[in-house]
Amino acid sequence: MGEFDEPFLGTQAVQAGLLTSHQLRRFRRIHRNVYIHRNAPVTPCGRAQAAWLWAGGDGVLAGYSAAALFGSRWIDATAPAELIRSGSRRGTAGIVVHAGTIPDDEVGELADMRVTSPARTAFDLGRRLVLDTAVEQLDALCRATRSDPARIAELADRHSGERGVRRLRQALELVDPGAESLPETRVRLLLVRGGLPRPSTQVPVVGVDGCILGWADLGWKQWRTVVEYDGIHHWTDERQRTKDIERYEAFAALGWSVVRVNSEQLRLRSASIVERVRAQLRSAGAPV
């Protein structure tokens, strides 16, 4: 696929002699005059690039599009691209255009495209998405960009009259950039809403020699209790399985308790997860 595995302007490719008009018809048309090789996947980053080409540089990539370009994970590949433009909300299929202007210090440049800053991107996502999805996306974005949620809160104060700021503030109270996956975020929210103390993320378990034996997804150091989400590879990859067995034996030898959670439990028996963790914390002396 080569140079055509990313979105490009058809007219430019023809004028440059890279393709003929006849050859261009074999490519996948994303938007008017915006194409990509028919076998190339259109990723969230690709959708952002295509939207930028469609807009002719008029506007700022925002929301999911900006998050994707910053390297944020867990973005739905079918989600439309997002642009902010002054005065116009007219978009096209696959592109959502938000009307408005953005202060210069909330805009940056990435790969020759204008994008909202990480904090502004989080600000927009957090006020437009439903609460749990907002927390998931802000966890991922803050981790990818090493952004401090406090900076996002400053923007909430700066734009306190904007629609959805109250929802954003609720999300910020729950955000933790330490989450490494969507399930980790979902388990954390489940435990907090179940009335348990808020767990730390990426908890270090330290051996008697002072060396770190491993990092747990969630946990409470004071009660030597951790929660681990086991993705499918923990069960299908024998090497990973062996590593898990040895690691948890080492944790137990140091007095740590491990509560393990998988996707079926999270999906179908979430209440039992809370009670299992509650019971373990209680046995460790936590006032729960």
285 to 95, 138, 274: CA distances (angstroms): 53, 33, 16
The domain 182-283: what is its CATH number?
3.40.960.10
Buried b / exposed e along 25-60 (16+ C-beta atoms within 10 A)? eebeebbebbbbbeebebebbbbbbbbbbbbeeebb
Predicted local distance difference test score (pLDDT) of residue 3: 74
Triad 170, 172, 177: Cα angle to 5°: 145
Q: What pLDDT score does 237 carry?
A: 66
pTM: 0.91
Tokens of 73: 């994970």
Q: Tell me the C-alpha to C-alpha distance, in Å, between residue 34 and each of 24, 95, 265, 277, 286.
A: 10, 13, 44, 51, 58
pLDDT on residue 254: 94
* pLDDT value for 244: 78
Per-residue pLDDT, 91? 81
CA distances from 138 to 43, 109, 273 (A): 19, 20, 24
* In the chain, ranges of CATH 3.40.960.10 domains: 182-283
The per-residue pLDDT for 235 is: 61
For residue 211, give Cα distances in angstroms to 152, 200, 201, 208: 35, 19, 19, 7
pLDDT of residue 236: 64
**pLDDT for position 232:** 63
The whole-number mean pLDDT for each consecutive block of 10 residues of the chain, a chain of 288 residues, reads 84 94 94 95 96 94 98 92 86 91 95 97 97 98 97 96 96 97 97 98 93 94 95 66 83 94 94 97 96
